[in-house]
Amino acid sequence: YELLNQIGDGSFGSVHKARTIASNKIVAIKIMKKKLNGDHIKEYNTLKKLTTHPNIVKLYETFIDTTKDFYFVMEYMNGGNLYQFIKDRKEAFDNIQPNEVKTILFQVLSGLHHIHHVEGIFHRDMKPENLLISYDNDTLLVKLADFGLATSIKSKPPYTIYTSTRWYRAPEILLKSSAYSYPIDLWAVGTIFAELVTLRPLFPGQSEIDQLFRICQVLGSPGIGGEWKDGVKLAQKMGFQFPKISPKVDCLSSVLQPHPISNDGLDLLSKLLQFDPYKRITSSEALNHPFF
């Protein structure tokens, strides 16, 4: 491989655009910052087992060099990630059009449906940075990437320490539940959906407690608005008391103002952002929602 230019950098390592010398094919190579470790093996095993799906980034191969650096060779996505896509639109004062929001969301949910119901894993780190974009002529393609935290739905809790970005964390994670599962990915999709509409994070908490307060400010508190007995118990165990905030009838539409969203869009968003993970909409139900 010939490295061409760096296209991304994160806590995990860097991503480079590269060319396969034998076939001239353009690929993306992720070079891990840490030397070979269990997390790399886990991500490799997860990606290797994933069957091909149009909304999941393809892994071509992995290799280790003489210095024990670990490399993932993946398909190259020419549009960067969704975080950059949102940032660029915000800087250009150019809202994402409702049909684009719909296209992006449908593809994200399709990828999630595949990993949840076909592969039996959940992602655990859904956020705009981990959704890659490519343009094929005028068609916008979105694919799930970065499976470093992915876990089998059948595996028994407690899971490894959860390290995803706070703003996209489900309430059960913030309340230190050890028995969470795939509904955490759907909560994250709800927060991303709102961010696509407004071009700003829905719940940009400064800490875990602040995060919970921000969620309650929008949705009201469980026990007042939505019944979530498990959540109240988890909060008591942590010594946390939910603020006494009643949900407003149009709480989500007022947060999204002045950006346009249909009634079907609001309904889907409210079903993704349910406090109780057992009441949260699944990916297959979401794909069949009238919004699409």
Single out the catalytic residue among 65, 88, 125, 267.
125
Report whether 288 contacts 106 (CB < 8 A).
no
Give the integer Cα–Cα distance in Å for 266 and 252: 7
- How many angstroms from the chain centroid is the CA of residue 247? 25
**DSSP structural state of residue 232:** H
Contact 86, 196 (CB under 8 A): yes
Cβ-based neighbour number of residue 216 at 10 Å: 21
Tell me the residue ranges of DSSP E strands in 34-166: 59-64, 70-75, 121-122, 131-136, 139-144, 151-152
Tell me whether residue 87 is annotated as binding: no
**Residue 276 known to be catalytic:** no
Q: Are 157 and 223 a contacting pair, CB within 8 Å? A: no
The structure tokens 């060099």 sit at 65
Q: For residues 166 and 205, what is the distance between their CA atoms, to the nearest angstrom?
A: 7
Annotated binding residues for ATP, as ranges?
30
Catalytic site positions: 125
Annotated binding residues, as ranges?
30
